[in-house]
Structure 1
């Protein structure tokens, strides 16, 4: 597993942010290959990148000659290729819980607020910015309300989303909170999420993955 790791990333992409956290938690060395999602009509649409990722999305991980796409698939690949420290727990029951928490973000919140959705609103439907921002906040608030309930009422929640070690669910939650703050979501109603966020961002693996710390940050 000694091949060079390269990550196609955009500083403000929450999907790429998840993978940066995962790589950092594993203590892996990797090279960032920036893909600007807005400049030049979106560099993700250029033929060279589209050949690697036909969805025209980031992140894409290169591990030697292997190409791995989709942030959750990449995180699971990292966990299988470098099993320690774990991003997913040992037991099937606990893994199901962590995957469910992660997917609440990656399947139910983030896709409704993705850049390509917002660009479609703006460029095709000409939705005013105020209404677009209401859309973003609505779906984040719905998702976070459910996550706050699940995390605050489950004894399996510890310092982090699951127990005393950060894992896949935290990799997904922290970038989504970054997006929420970016769009002005009031986080006062989500004390458990904020507590977990503070614990995570105190760790170098999360701190070094922050958007503003990336080489392509604007």
Structure 2
């Protein structure tokens, strides 16, 4: 039995849902409401010591951190692969993926924004903070993008799985995207794919 503990609008959870859909892995989904603080509850911390989402539970064992979960999925369900076998291509894929998952997302997630609020920074200031770091990361990612249909060329990979949730959040926070035509075009192409459509946050939003 595979269970996913996630929040519908969490970009890290969104990545994992995309990977699960791409690999056609059946799972049971359990919502952890971040806005209600359920991530910090004892039940969630028992699954995930950091008190985060997502968490994947596999036969009683748990994995936290979205890229660790996706790495397990890629090893366990190798088709389609999300990381190339060629060492240089693999490194470039990870470079693009981590530009999002390690550099854009962590400084803009809910706990950071809540801390900014606790420091007296108003909503306008928090929104400016968010857009600044998205713009900084997207400028680099635009330069890294290849000439093909996807970030790495003509083959979909882990960096594409990371891109779509970050683009979703950028639009939700009304981040200007005109400076990133390659990212916009790639995001549009990816969102036409069934696996990406199946993982969209609106499919899991509370009624």
**TM-score, length-normalised on structure 1?**
0.92
Matching residue within 59, 64, 83 for 1:64: 59
Distance in structure 2 (CA, Å) of the matches to 1:150 and 1:162: 8
Shift of 1:35: 0.1
Are 2:188 and 1:198 equivalent residues in the alignment? yes
| Mapping for residues 10-49 of structure 1, pairs under 5 Å | 10-39=7-36, 42-49=37-44
Are 2:89 and 1:94 equivalent residues in the alignment? yes
Deviations 1:175-218 (A, max 9, x none): 0001100111111111100111011100010011111111x446
Distance in structure 2 (CA, Å) of the matches to 1:217 and 1:188: 31
Deviations 1:3-50 (A, max 9, x none): x211101000000000000011111111111000012xx001111111
**TM-score, length-normalised on structure 2?**
0.97
Q: Which runs of 5+ in 2 are unaligned?
A: none
| Mapping for residues 140-179 of structure 1, pairs under 5 Å | 140-151=134-145, 154=146, 157-179=147-169
- Distance verdict in 2 for CA 1:207–1:77, change over 3 Å: same
RMSD: 1.1
User: Which deviates further from its counterpart, 53-62 or 158-167?
Assistant: 158-167
Equivalent residues, number: 207
Q: Which runs of 5+ in 1 are unaligned?
A: none
SS in 2 for 1:189: coil
Distance in structure 2 (CA, Å) of the matches to 1:134 and 1:83: 40
